[in-house]
Amino acid sequence: MQIVDYRQCAASELEALCYSVFSESENAAEGRMVSKLVRQLISDTPDHDMQGWVAVDDESPAGLVFFSRLRVGERPDIFMLSPLAVATAHQRTGLGQSLVAHALEQLRQEGVSIVTTYGDPAYYRRLGFQPLPQTTLAAPHDLSFPEGWLGLSLTEESVPEVPGDCFCVKAFDDPLYW
């Protein structure tokens, strides 16, 4: 298994991976929604506002993780993890955790200090994420599942209070995702 920059893979393969993973774990509508999100992230997000890594097994994507910039005031160092997808055959093998750990180290080296995500608290707590109160760092939209708003400091300090409105990249700027 090799971890590569997402640009080394065909966008259609990454969309197909997300469709498969989320259709199997949730339903076909969720699979379509997440694959569309990945298509929009890749096509509409400037390179400086997005990072992504793919775990490749036998030349096929086995997992992926994307991070997109959140803008809060003048802070350029906040990114959001989403989506994370691991092919069903590779789930429960530690691949997702390895992929995220690799990505977080790359982001840390590039000066990112805060990473957020909006997902399953039980899973992301294992990766070090903690509940993120809206008073510490507001989400870009109202949250339908507030306990899923999580944060992780990539520095020695805890996530500081970051006042101000939070803005996400265009692909996520839809209340449907929140």
Per-domain residue ranges of the chain: 2-177
pLDDT in tens, 122-177: 999 999 999 999 999 999 999 999 999 999 999 999 999 999 999 999 999 999 99
Q: How far apart are CA 113 and CA 11, in angstroms?
A: 28
79 pLDDT band, cuts 50/70/90, is very high
- Pair of tokens at residue 2: 């090799």
Identify the residue whose tokens are 């093998």: 93
Q: How far is CA 129 from CA 126, 133, 147, in A?
A: 7, 12, 12
Residue 108: what residue type?
R
Omega cis (within 30) before 160: no
Report how far Cα 57 is from the mean position of its chain's Cα atoms.
21
Q: Residue 146 carries which DSSP code?
A: G
pLDDT band at 112 (very low <50, low <70, confident <90, very high): very high
Q: What is the mean pLDDT of the chain?
A: 96
Q: How many other CB atoms are there within 10 angstroms of residue 178's CB atom?
A: 17
Query: Nearest CA to 79 among 146, 37, 140?
Result: 140
CATH class of this structure's domain 2-177? alpha beta
Question: Are the C-beta atoms of 87 and 63 separated by less than 8 Å?
Answer: yes
The distance from CA 107 to its chain's CA centroid, rounded to whole angstroms, is 12
> Model-level pTM?
0.95
The Cα 116–Cα 24 span in angstroms is 25
**pLDDT band at residue 118, thresholds of 50, 70 and 90?**
very high
